């Protein structure tokens, strides 16, 4: 199980309250360490892939974290991805992707619970394209020893059966399919061992121009596009942000833009858009289904919501400390940020790059419940790219993606 795009909070008492669980991650100072992924292994051991810091492990439900030595020196601008697998009767396998720039891409693997790691070759001679500049995601098959990676730009999905001695492109079962994009960034699997991958919006696609989920029932040999009921509008630069599974074959998918969220039946055979009860346009950063089939969804810039009735809408708002709205997004020379809180708070808003470094100094506004404040950030002179807007109120944090484009 893996969760994406979170930052040191976990639900307590069925999400009626939230507390920080970052002992060992947050140093209490100016350093900012975004958690890219959480993965749950056997015996509820937690692993966190923390950008700029590495891999951390918790054996006490997140009360404290210790660093796992993955055999690399971690650069402060690095992006870390992780996949774990716990074979019956054997130690946990840990697969780590390390991206610190085009000349510093690594894939590390441990089959002894993190006691030692080997490096899987990513050289051109192994089948990885020479122009590969980013490593977005890693994944261990639930069915075999096969390992998957997603690389960019416009290179697709690759799979190895021999720990990286050779890699084969398998994004559509055909290396010349022209269906590759620069980001397949969400892997998931169901209880049947079927693999699901989120593909970016792709204007040139003959299948669908919108972001979409593809499914393989044979470890990546062939892929099916799950399009029945899917919103197939061309949503520029849209991405699948999360995939999660509930009871009776229910499947939940969220997107970064307004075509979702989706609820699928029979593992994606038919999808329905489920937006009722969401204040925004349906853009979400994640969805998680608990073992009791409780669905929690994270609308972008809004509080966490819980889905009360699988036959109805996403309609219950969880308590929140601070929420934000951004206009325009993508932005050019200026970003307007609307801030709301549930208690009187001084809210500090700043902008971070992918390394978690502040590129715009913090702006502070005092906000009271029922009212909102608008903060304008000047982005002129900031390079084009993807950034993170951070809003902090009373020690609680909300983050939202901002794209600067000109």
User: CA 13, CA 401: separation in Å to the nearest integer?
Assistant: 29
For 251, 276, 288, 294, 405, the CA distances from 309, given in Å and listed in that order, are 15, 12, 15, 9, 40
pLDDT of residue 190: 94
State which of 317, 334, 359 marks the end of a domain. 317
Instruction: Output the six-digit token pair for 5.
Output: 């795009």
Q: Where does 303-372 show beta strands of DSSP type E? A: 305-307, 314-317, 322-327, 334-341, 345-352, 358-367
Q: What is the C-alpha end-to-end distance of the chain, expressed in Å?
A: 38
Q: pLDDT (tens digit, 9 = 90+) per residue, 277-315? A: 777 778 888 898 887 788 888 888 777 787 765 444 444
139 with 203, same domain? yes
Instruction: Output the six-digit token pair for 184.
Output: 């397949």
Window from 49-53, 100-104, 306-310, 317-321 with minimum mean pLDDT? 317-321
Asked if the model's pLDDT at residue 97 lies above 80, the reply is: yes
Contact 152, 182 (CB under 8 A): yes
| CATH code of 75's domain | 2.130.10.10
Asked if the model's pLDDT at residue 5 lies above 50, the reply is: no
Window from 46-50, 175-179, 362-366 with minimum mean pLDDT? 175-179
295 with 347, same domain? no
Q: For 249, list phi and psi in degrees, rounded to 5.
A: 80, 10
For 202, 204, 205, 258, 259, the CA distances from 234, given in Å and listed in that order, are 8, 10, 10, 11, 9
| CATH code of 364's domain | 2.60.40.1930
Asked if the model's pLDDT at residue 25 lies above 70, the reply is: no
267 with 378, same domain? no
Q: How many residues does the structure list for the chain?
A: 406
pLDDT of residue 180: 61
Asked if the model's pLDDT at residue 230 lies above 50, the reply is: yes
310 with 343, same domain? no
State which of 266, 296, 317 marks the end of a domain. 317
State which of 317, 334, 349 marks the end of a domain. 317
289 with 396, same domain? no
pLDDT of residue 298: 84
Sign of the torsion angle spanned by Cα atoms 102, 120, 187, 6: negative
255 with 366, same domain? no
Element of type H or E holding 134: strand 134-140
Q: pLDDT (tens digit, 9 = 90+) per residue, 100-146? A: 988 899 999 999 999 999 999 998 889 888 888 889 899 999 999 99
Half-sphere exposure of 245 (CA within 13 A, CB side): 18
User: CA 97, CA 106: separation in Å to the nearest integer?
Assistant: 6
221 with 283, same domain? yes
Q: Which domain holds residue 145?
A: 2-317
292 with 333, same domain? no
Window from 17-26, 140-149, 339-348 with minimum mean pLDDT? 17-26
What does pTM read for this prediction?
Answer: 0.74
Residue 350: which residues within 8 A CB-CB, separation 6 or more?
Answer: 358, 360, 361, 362, 363, 389, 390
Average pLDDT over residues 239-251: 92
289 with 378, same domain? no
Tally of structural domains, the chain: 2
The share of the chain scoring above pLDDT 90, in percent, equals: 34
pLDDT of residue 215: 94
Q: pLDDT (tens digit, 9 = 90+) per residue, 176-218? A: 455 665 578 799 999 999 999 998 888 878 888 889 999 999 9
Mean pLDDT of the chain: 83
Asked if the model's pLDDT at residue 4 lies above 70, the reply is: no
Residue 53: which residues within 8 A CB-CB, separation 6 or more?
Answer: 25, 33, 67, 74, 80
107 with 156, same domain? yes
Sign of the torsion angle spanned by Cα atoms 283, 339, 331, 8: negative
In a 3-state reduction of DSSP, which class is residue 311?
coil
In a 3-state reduction of DSSP, which class is residue 13?
helix
Asked if the model's pLDDT at residue 80 lies above 60, the reply is: yes
User: CA 264, CA 226: separation in Å to the nearest integer?
Assistant: 9
274 with 129, same domain? yes
363 with 305, same domain? no
Residue 55: which residues within 8 A CB-CB, separation 6 or more?
Answer: 47, 48, 49, 67, 68, 70, 80, 82, 94, 96, 114
């Amino acid at each position: 199980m893996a969760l994406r795009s979170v930052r040191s909070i976990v639900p307590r008492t069925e999400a009626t309250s939230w507390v920080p669980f970052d002992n060992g991650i947050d140093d209490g100072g100016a350093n900012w360490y975004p958690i890219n992924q959480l993965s749950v292994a056997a015996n509820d051991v937690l692993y966190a892939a923390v950008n700029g810091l590495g891999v951390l492990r918790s054996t006490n439900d997140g009360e404290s974290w210790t660093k796992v030595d993955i055999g690399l020196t971690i650069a402060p601008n690095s992006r870390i991805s992780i996949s774990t697998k716990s074979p019956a009767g054997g130690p946990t396998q840990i697969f780590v992707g390390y991206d610190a720039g085009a000349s510093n891409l690594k894939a590390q693997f441990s089959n002894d619970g993190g006691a030692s790691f080997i490096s899987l070759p990513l050289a051109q001679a192994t089948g990885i394209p020479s122009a590969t500049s980013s490593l977005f995601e890693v994944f261990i098959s639930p069915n075999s020893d096969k390992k998957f990676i997603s690389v960019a730009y416009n290179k697709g999905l690759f799979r190895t059966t021999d720990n990286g001695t050779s890699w084969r492109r398998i994004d559509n079962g055909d290396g010349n399919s022209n269906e590759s994009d620069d980001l397949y960034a969400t892997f998931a699997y169901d209880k049947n061992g079927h693999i699901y991958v989120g593909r970016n919006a792709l204007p040139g696609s003959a299948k669908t121009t919108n972001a979409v989920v593809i499914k393989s029932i044979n470890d990546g040999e062939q892929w099916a596009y799950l399009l029945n009921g899917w919103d197939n509008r061309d949503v520029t630069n849209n991405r699948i942000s999360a995939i999660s599974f509930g009871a009776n074959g229910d499947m939940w998918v969220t997107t970064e833009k307004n075509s979702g969220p989706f609820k699928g039946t029979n593992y994606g055979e038919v999808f329905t858009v489920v937006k009722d009860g969401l204040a925004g346009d349906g853009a979400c950063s994640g969805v998680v289904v608990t073992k009791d089939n409780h669905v929690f969804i994270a609308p972008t810039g809004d509080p966490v919501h819980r889905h009360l009735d699988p036959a109805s809408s996403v309609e219950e708002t969880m308590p929140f400390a601070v929420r934000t709205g951004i206009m325009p997004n993508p932005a050019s020379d200026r970003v307007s940020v609307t801030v709301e809180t549930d208690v009187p708070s001084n809210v500090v808003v700043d902008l971070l790059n992918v390394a978690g470094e502040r590129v715009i100094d913090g702006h502070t506004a005092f906000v009271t419940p029922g009212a909102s404040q608008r903060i304008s950030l000047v982005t002129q002179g900031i390079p084009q790219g993807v950034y993170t807007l951070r809003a902090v109120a009373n020690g609680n944090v909300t983050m939202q993606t901002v794209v600067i484009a000109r």
